[in-house]
Amino acid sequence: MPLDSTLAAAALSIALLCSAVVAENPYRFFNWNVTYGNIYPLGVRQQGILINGQFPGPDIHAVTNDNLIINVFNSLDEPFLLSWSGLQQRRNSYQDGVYGTTCPIPPGKNFTYIMQVKDQIGSFYYFPSLAFHKAAGGFGGIRILSRPRIPVPFPDPAEDYTVLIGDWYKANHTTLKAHLDRGKKLKFPDGILINGRGPNGASFNVEQGKTYRLRISNVGLMNSLNFRIQGHKMVLVEVEGTHTLQTKYSSLDVHVGQSYSVLVTADQPAQDYYIVVSTRFSSHVLTTTGVLHYSNSAGPVSGQIPGGPTIQIDWSLNQARSIRTNLTASGPRPNPQGSYHYGLINTTRTIRLAGSAGQVNGKQRYAVNSVSFVPPDTPMKLADFFKIGGVFRVGSISDKPYGGGIYLDTAVMGTDYRGFVEIVFENYDNIVQSWHLDGYSFFVVGMDGGKWTAASRNSYNLRDAVARCTTQVYPYSWTAVYVALDNVGMWHVRSEFWAHQYLGQQFYLRVYTDSTSLRDEFPIPKNALLCGRASGHHTRPF
The pLDDT of residue 10 is 46
- The DSSP code sequence of 214-226 is EEEEE--SS--EE
Cβ proximity of 277 and 255 under 8 Å: no
Give the total residue count for the chain. 542
Q: Which residues contact 448 (CB under 8 A, 6 or more apart)?
A: 317, 456, 459, 477, 478
Q: What is the pLDDT of residues 15-25, one digit of tens each?
A: 444 444 444 79
The pLDDT of residue 2 is 42
The pLDDT of residue 16 is 44
Cβ proximity of 32 and 51 under 8 Å: yes
Q: Which helix (H) or strand (E) holds 317?
A: helix 313-322
Cite the DSSP H helix spans in 147-235: 173-181
Domains of the chain: 22-148 (2.60.40.420), 151-329 (2.60.40.420), 342-534 (2.60.40.420)
The pLDDT of residue 399 is 97
DSSP code of residue 282: -
Q: Which residues contact 426 (CB under 8 A, 6 or more apart)?
A: 352, 353, 354, 401, 451, 452, 473, 478
**CA 335, chain centre distance (Å):** 26
**Pairing of β 420-426 and β 477-484:** antiparallel
CA distances from 98 to 81, 296, 493 (A): 7, 46, 11
The pLDDT of residue 403 is 86
Spatial distance between the Cα atoms of 468 and 394, rounded to a whole number of angstroms: 26
Spatial distance between the Cα atoms of 316 and 307, rounded to a whole number of angstroms: 15
The pLDDT of residue 3 is 43
Q: What is the pLDDT of residues 28-58, one digit of tens each?
A: 999 999 999 999 999 999 999 999 999 999 9
Spatial distance between the Cα atoms of 16 and 384, rounded to a whole number of angstroms: 27
DSSP code of residue 522: P
Q: What is the pLDDT along the chain (542 residues), one digit of tens a residue?
A: 444 444 444 444 444 444 444 447 999 999 999 999 999 999 999 999 999 999 999 999 999 999 999 999 999 999 999 999 999 999 999 999 999 999 999 999 999 999 999 999 999 999 999 999 999 999 999 999 999 999 999 999 999 999 999 999 999 999 999 999 999 999 999 999 999 999 999 999 999 999 999 999 999 999 999 999 999 999 999 999 999 999 999 999 999 999 999 999 999 999 999 999 999 999 999 999 999 999 999 999 999 999 999 999 999 999 999 999 999 999 898 877 666 789 999 999 999 999 999 999 999 999 999 999 999 999 999 999 999 999 999 999 999 998 889 999 999 999 999 999 999 999 999 999 999 999 999 999 999 999 999 999 999 999 999 999 999 999 999 999 999 999 999 999 999 999 999 999 999 999 999 998 999 999 999 999 999 999 999 997 65
Residue 117 backbone zone (phi > 0: left; psi -120 to 50: alpha; other: beta): beta
The pLDDT of residue 155 is 97
The pLDDT of residue 540 is 74
Q: Which helix (H) or strand (E) holds 11?
A: helix 5-18
